[in-house]
Amino acid sequence: MVHMETEVLLDAGAVSRCRRRVHLEADPSMRETTLAPPDPAAEQRMADAAAHRLEIRRRLVEAIRREQAAARGVSAEGGGGEEAGWVTVPRELPAGERVRITEQALADGASYIWGALLPADRRGHRRGGAELLVRSGAGYLPVLVVRHRITDPGAGAVTTAPNQLDPARAVVDEHRKVRSQPRDQLRLAHLRRMLEALGLAAHQPLGGVIGLDADCVLWHDLAAPTWPGGRSALAEYDIRFADRVAVAQAAATGGPALAEPSRILDCRACPWWPTCESALLAVRDVSLVVRGEDAMELRRAGVSTVDKLAALNLDDEPPIVWTSGSFPDAVALARAWLADLTVVRRVPEVTVSRGDVEVDVDMESFGESGAYLWGCLLSGADIGLPQGYRSFVTWEPVPTVDEARSFAEFWAWLRDVRERTAAAGLTFRAYCYNAMAENRWLFGSVERFAGLDGIPAKNEVQSFVDSEEWVDLFRGVTEQFLCSRGKGLKVIAPVAGFSWRDPEAGGEASMRWYRDAVGMDGAVPAPDQRERLLRYNEDDVRATQVLRGWMSGPANEIPYMGDL
């Protein structure tokens, strides 16, 4: 957001951003507020996204060079500089200079404008730019380059080839379906409105996206009724943007605030969270234990604080139509928060499935690129295999076919453990914390590496996942406990008495360690970071082992929600 006295100019992100954050960013009195320090993991994601954009730009320029050379009947080898009709607006230039170059390219009718920064639409309160503007007829179409996946296996997405930027050549893809990425569509709608204000929007209300895999260009019809209630992306954007403009204008002019602080999921990574947290704690706001629509409705019903929620009777009818969880849980959670309890029991007696032979499993992945490490902890009855921790890992940067080798070795070992246990007439259980992640890469590995040595059939993995042998401890915690500070393993395991050896242990930190461990970006691989990742993974499986032991007995000594 930019400020010129009380002028409000919003970028595309405002429509997906918390309304209170929009208020704070527009409030002149908040300009000197100290924000939370940048998250190193977020900064790394931004750097990765920038590198991804550069690679996509290189591919597109090469594709255009080949196409133009073929049209001229000459070789594309040895070409240099920008291709005819292609203009690059350097991101490192000051904003004013970037706008000037963009305006000149638009005036010249350039076919492609990379890194475009459009002139501010002051009447519409908009500012922003696109990775790429593609000329279409007398106007332009916006194309985004993002570092997340934009399609899934399936059918129905409208796509062109990876380097084909003409939507007239798009077809209904028989192998891909659209993955829900609302922010992409809203950003395209924002750019469409900016181009319309300039009189330079293409006739068709389309926008393209090139994603992480860069295996196609996905085309969105921004006027199609694909949103809830039959709305289009443009209609949804217009509603949201008008609301955010109203919020920002009220803040900029000192009017009554249209958005008050309320804790939501996005607060965890918001630079304004220290400001909002302080305000919420000062009034003991109900959103500290109940989030989303329920928190807003409770305030309207007069239950604005944790204290007021805790004072309600668990057996009474809720004062609002409850939409998430249960009302008794919310009241008990408020009481736990007041008593400074991290965990309370939801059930009279906590139970967890146990086996004679047990294996704790934890997988480490690098974003969407692949699963590079499967860590296992074998314990219980002797079946002739060494007990303790072992890892199955590849240190080739993922994605790599060597990932198939490490996964196959992991699965062969797990199969051997299960077969030995069954042969001994014993019971087997394998544990993880939140099976969604492990299951995703179990099936993903089977699909990606099908036919390679040691890769199991999908039905073998499906049979295991569906069996009672595969136990998700996260589900057990969710069903049997109320957790006032979250249900992550890093929160719950310490209650059971476990602590990680590395003070920085966490998923985001492990991403940084991994980059160093495999020598990404041309760096020399760091053996000490490999050891750090293995130690972290071992602690994760030992944490689930300790948690399981705690749930088998000592957990029944913590307070029961009905007794609070």
How far is residue 359's CA from residue 265's CA, in Å, rounded to a whole number? 32
Q: What is the pLDDT of residue 82?
A: 61
Q: What is the pLDDT of residue 502?
A: 94
Angle at Cα 146 formed by Cα 144 and Cα 150, nearest 5°? 95
Nearest Cα neighbor of 369 from 147, 540, 529, 519 is 147
Q: What is the mean pLDDT of each run of 10 residues along the chain (564 residues)?
A: 69 96 96 87 83 94 87 61 83 96 97 97 96 96 96 94 94 95 97 98 97 95 96 97 98 95 90 96 95 90 95 90 86 92 93 97 92 98 98 95 97 98 98 96 95 96 97 96 90 96 89 92 91 97 97 94 82
Residues 6 or more apart from 513 whose CB is under 8 A from it? 529, 532, 533, 536
How far is residue 172's CA from residue 187's CA, in Å, rounded to a whole number? 23
Q: What is the pLDDT of residue 44?
A: 78
Strands 206-210 and 139-145: parallel
Helices (H), 390-526: 402-423, 435-448, 458-466, 473-480, 489-495, 507-518
How far is residue 311's CA from residue 385's CA, in Å, rounded to a whole number? 55
Query: Is-contact 14 130, C-beta < 8 A?
Result: no
Convert the pLDDT of each residue in 403-459 to its tens digit.
999 999 999 999 999 999 999 999 999 999 999 999 999 999 999 999 999 999 999
Angle at Cα 84 formed by Cα 81 and Cα 89, nearest 5°? 65
How far is residue 376's CA from residue 358's CA, in Å, rounded to a whole number? 10
How far is residue 278's CA from residue 273's CA, in Å, rounded to a whole number? 8
Q: What is the pLDDT of residue 326?
A: 86
Q: What is the pLDDT of residue 74?
A: 66
Query: Is-contact 540 489, C-beta < 8 A?
Result: yes
Peptide bond into 399 cis (omega under 30): yes
Residues 6 or more apart from 520 whose CB is under 8 A from it? 397, 514
Residues 6 or more apart from 256 whose CB is under 8 A from it? 250
Using the CB atoms, write b or e for 367-405: b if 16+ within 10 Å.
Answer: eeebbbbbbbbbbbeebeeeeebbbbbbbebbebebbbb
HEC secondary structure over 135-186: EECCEEEEEEECCCCCEEECCCCEEECCCCCCHHHCEECCCEEECCCHHHHH
- Residue 44 burial (CB < 10 Å; 0-12/13-18/19+)? middle
- Report pTM: 0.82
Convert the pLDDT of each residue in 227-276 to its tens digit.
999 999 999 999 999 999 999 999 999 999 999 999 998 898 899 999 99
Nearest Cα neighbor of 56 from 131, 119, 2 is 131
Please name the helix (run of DSSP H) or strand (run of DSSP E) that holds residue 218, with its range, or none. Answer: strand 217-221
How far is residue 261's CA from residue 540's CA, in Å, rounded to a whole number? 35
